[in-house]
Copies of this chain bind each other. A is one copy, B any other.
Amino acid sequence: MVTKTPFDTVVAELALVEKYRSLAHLSRNNTPMPSVETLSEIVEMLRQVLFPGYYGESDLTQDNLKYYIGAKLDRAYHLLAEEIKRGQCFSCTITNEAECRHCETTSKEKAAKFIVRLPEVRRLLATDVEAAYEGDPAATSHGETIYCYPSIYAMTNFRIAHELQVLEVPLIPRIITEIAHSKTGIDLHPGAQIGEKFFMDHGTGIVVGGTSIIGKGVKLYQGVTLGAKSFPLDEHGNPIKGVPRHPIVEDNVVIYAGATVLGRITIGHDAMIGGNTWVTQDVAPGAKVLNPK
């Protein structure tokens, strides 16, 4: 007879997944989890397409560019369709496998729609690059901001993720912004709406909540939070999901380091919010909010 070792006992206990059901993910229809690695690869391919020559091959010319862009977009499209499918499967509750095949189709459709949006993503990022160059006296060229600035890195991931969010792709947008969060310390929820010419100086610690609406030409410094003040609860005391609860920040607002702006309030255009401030009420256009000291 075999005696169980203490090690075997631990293994047996941990293998009892029903004990902590929420911690285990047993696969549906053999669909794997979305791959963070593949999503990183997709985003890097898109970065190469959006900023050719800065990322990827260095000997690009007007002649060969179309081939590289075509090959990378096609690859990104295929990989993305697969990841969208996985994301949908992860969030799905259908148990009928036949119905399931539908996802194969919708994931490809969404990936195709996403690809079509890329020229617009590029147009917006061009304004963000402009904003970075103009907004930082230390920037020596547009190229330097593209290649070195956390703001441009994070906004590229964000603008890609936001397009997927608009297409109602589950999970994937969040993973893409978390990749940037981990690298830059900037936490932009993919649901936020962010206008042209957005710049975040230094960036570490910035948080922008999922129902924020940000106008054009807004500038945030490190450690700024656009957060929720409180959550409306439903009759069972659970937070109601999806309610607008983050600030509206109008055009040309500047918010300095460490300021905390909470709730569905409006910061009027051209306002200035000082550093380390705590703002929970509307701010008039052009106003300056400073620390009491």
Contact = CB atoms under 8 A, between A and B. Distances in A.
Given A66-B70, A137-B228, A205-B185, A278 B260 contact: no
A215 interface: no
B202 A204 contact: no
Contact of A260 (B23, B204, B276): B276
A10 B142 contact: no
B143 A49 contact: no
Nearest to A56: B33
Contact of A205 (B5, B70, B222): B222
A32 interface: yes
B140 A241 contact: yes
Nearest to A25: B53
A135 to B, nearest CB: 8
Nearest to A72: B71
A170 B59 CA distance: 21
A270 to B, nearest CB: 15
A105 interface: no
B71 A51 contact: no
Q: Bin the interface of chain A by size.
A: 35 or more
A231 B137 contact: yes
Interface string A103-121: 0000000001001101100
Nearest to A15: B66
Indicate the member of A12, A69, A239 with the most B CB atoms within 10 Å: A69
Contacts of A12: 66
A112 to B, nearest CB: 8
A26 interface: yes
A95 interface: no
A223 interface: yes
A276 B68 CA distance: 48
Interface string A39-56: 000000000011111100
A285 interface: no
13 contacts: A5-B63, A7-B74, A11-B67, A14-B49, A23-B146, A30-B59, A68-B70, A138-B189, A182-B183, A202-B225, A207-B257, A258-B276, A278-B291
